[in-house]
Structure 1
Amino acid sequence: MPLHVPPAPAPALRTVLTALGSPTAVREAPTPSLRTAQGPVAPEMPLPVHVLDGIAAEGTPATRLAGWRFTIVSGDRALAAAETRLTPDGWAFAHFFEGPYIASTERALRHAETLPQAYQPRLLSVPGLYMLTLWLHADCAADGSAGGFKPADLLVPLAPAPPGIASHRPHPVAELLPVLTRRVTPAVPLLGSPA
């Protein structure tokens, strides 16, 4: 099924286009592939980046929109990514970067397109585990900036994933969230035991 990519806010896209047009921003970025790109580059596949916080032993974890990530391509090749952040003054360019999550995201998106159900792709960051997942949201018509999990949502851990969590395997949200919660929630010492 095709993925239903939510539209990025126009001001977020403008900040990325402005940064791509700035020789200083590109030259100072830690992205050799972007600095040495031959031909035009363009931002594609905007994905909202949500952060998983509010993890507690009880209840559903909360998410919040942290920004939008754009894949920077030259021809049909992904070179880097650009991230934007919402500030009190509106959308702002944050940074360019490269690394394993770019190829891993592309791989997960290609696999998601083969699934029998349509999804809205998002990214979900789990800072406490240094983990990023492709969040396949079951409500394709939802606002990409709105949080909240649906029972039919899938989470696809991107490589590199934390030890013991399989990369590129779609997990039902009800299966993976408890694992993440256990790993992030600090253990409560028993009374009388050393802390």
Structure 2
Amino acid sequence: MPLQVAPAPAPALRSVLAALSSPTAVREARTPSLRNATGPLVAEHPLPLHVLDPVITEPGGLPRARLTGWRFHIRTGEKVAAAGETVDTPDGWAFSHFCEGPYLASTERALRQADALTTPYQPHLLSVPGLYMLTLWLHADVASDAGTAQPAPSDLLIPLAPAPPGIAAHRMHRLSDLVPVLTLRLAPPPLLGTTA
């Protein structure tokens, strides 16, 4: 198995498990599939969730990523019913919310794609808020700390569906090839009356 999943911080996992064991938290979740789930709910596939900051770059011109939380898939039987997210607070990791939608199935599909590779990678989720885009980020440094990992040229990105127009979902891109496209799309438009 080429995917080297980084262990989630124990307090992050505990906060999701506590929310899952709270009938109030599950009942009030905005996730019908979680509310209607039968059988035990299991938190699995912990993935560090980062936000790409195209303005701040590392040496070599690659944008920096900032860890914002951990996402766990919540499984009931054979089905992923929802995801549970945690955030880092001044008091430590805390449960944030449950969610569902197309990114769940897309993440599962991208993880299967990545698992078929022969090179080992450390999986992360990478959000590009300015494009409403979420990707599976395959970090080549499998020994790195998931909380401080930064994009590297040899890393791969798999855009999740739905992807922004003109970017194919589930097509693997070398990070160094996709970043110029993202940077161009995130750049502010030229002012009226100026030439590019």
| Matched position secondary structure for 1:189 | coil
Question: Partner residue of 1:12?
Answer: 12
Match of 2:159 among 157, 160, 163: 157
Q: Are the equivalent residues in 1 in contact too, given 2:157–2:174 (CA < 8 A)?
A: yes
Question: Partner residue of 1:61?
Answer: 63
Taking the aligned partners of 1:184 and 1:97, their CA distance within structure 2 comes to 26
1:179/1:56 CA distance change after superposition, 3 Å: farther
* TM-score, normalisation: structure 1: 0.94
Match of 2:88 among 74, 86, 89: 86
* Offset, 1:154: 0.1
Question: Partner residue of 1:114?
Answer: 116
Question: Partner residue of 1:172?
Answer: 174
* TM-score, normalisation: structure 2: 0.94
CA RMSD in angstroms comes to: 1.7
Taking the aligned partners of 2:91 and 2:56, their CA distance within structure 1 comes to 32
Letter in 2 for 1:146: T
Higher alpha-carbon deviation: 125-134 or 147-156: 147-156
Taking the aligned partners of 2:53 and 2:87, their CA distance within structure 1 comes to 17
| Matched position secondary structure for 1:55 | strand
User: Percent same amino acid at aligned positions?
Assistant: 65
* Offset, 1:149: 1.3
Q: Are the equivalent residues in 1 in contact too, given 2:127–2:133 (CA < 8 A)?
A: yes
Taking the aligned partners of 1:22 and 1:95, their CA distance within structure 2 comes to 13
Q: Unaligned 5+ residue runs, structure 1? A: none
* Offset, 1:170: 0.6
Letter in 2 for 1:138: A
Structure 1 stretches of 4+ with a deviation exceeding 3 A read none
Letter in 1 for 2:21: G
Taking the aligned partners of 2:114 and 2:54, their CA distance within structure 1 comes to 27
Q: Unaligned 5+ residue runs, structure 2? A: none
Question: Partner residue of 1:147?
Answer: 149
